C-alpha cells in the first residue's frame, strides 16, 4: 500500500467553479501534475470548456488557462493509502479542508465533482455543501462507459 497525498489547490480570486477529483493517480503523483495520465480525458474536456487546445500546452500554461477561465482544481481527499491508481483501492482517506478553501475564495459558486469517488467522499465529509455541487462523470480512462463525446455533453456548462 502506498501513501498518497494530494496537491495544493490551483485557484485564484477569480475562480467561480471548483473542480474536485478524488486523489491523483500514480502518473499524476509522479509528475506532480493534475490529470497527467495521457489517457485521462480531463484536459480534452477542459479544452472544450475553455475553447482552447490545452492538451498541446505545457502544464503551467494549462493551469494558467483554467484560472483565466474562472476554474479551480483540487481534490476531496488530502491523503490516503492506495495500491495502484483506482479509486476503488483508496483506504484510510482523510479529506482536504474544503470549507476553509471556500471561505478564503468566496467567489466559488459551483463545485463539480469528477467521478463517483469524489462525489461519495464529498458527500461523506461535506454533506452541508452538496447544494453547491454537481456530480460529473469521471474523465478517467477507467470510465469506459463514457466516450469523449458523451463526456463533453455532460460537462458542458
At 74, which CATH number? 3.40.470.10
Whether pLDDT at 1 is above 70? no
Of 90-94, 137-141, 142-146, where does mean pLDDT reach its minimum?
142-146
Instruction: Report the range of poorest mean pLDDT among 73-77, 121-125, 147-151.
Output: 147-151
Selected catalytic residue, list 12, 40, 96, 114: 40
Identify the three-state secondary structure at position 2.
strand
Q: Is the pTM of this model over 0.75?
A: yes
Alpha helices in the chain (DSSP H): 26-31, 42-50, 59-68, 98-104, 116-125, 148-155
70 classed as catalytic: no
Find the domain containing 109 and state its range.
2-155
Q: Number of folded domains in the chain? A: 1
Amino acid at each position: 500500500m502506498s501513501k498518497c497525498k494530494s496537491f495544493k489547490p490551483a485557484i485564484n480570486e477569480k475562480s467561480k467553479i471548483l473542480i474536485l477529483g478524488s486523489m491523483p493517480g500514480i502518473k499524476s503523483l509522479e509528475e506532480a501534475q493534475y490529470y497527467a495520465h495521457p489517457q485521462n480525458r480531463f484536459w480534452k474536456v477542459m479544452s472544450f470548456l475553455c475553447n482552447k487546445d490545452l492538451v498541446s500546452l505545457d502544464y503551467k500554461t494549462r493551469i494558467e488557462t483554467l484560472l483565466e477561465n474562472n476554474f479551480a482544481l483540487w481534490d476531496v481527499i488530502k491523503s490516503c493509502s492506495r495500491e495502484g491508481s483506482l479509486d476503488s483501492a483508496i483506504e484510510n482517506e482523510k479529506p482536504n479542508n474544503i470549507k476553509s478553501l471556500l471561505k478564503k475564495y468566496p467567489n466559488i459558486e459551483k463545485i463539480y465533482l469528477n467521478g463517483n469517488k469524489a462525489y461519495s467522499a464529498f458527500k461523506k465529509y461535506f454533506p452541508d455543501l452538496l447544494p453547491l455541487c454537481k456530480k460529473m462523470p469521471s474523465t478517467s480512462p477507467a470510465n469506459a462507459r463514457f466516450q469523449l463525446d458523451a463526456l463533453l455533453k455532460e460537462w458542458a456548462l
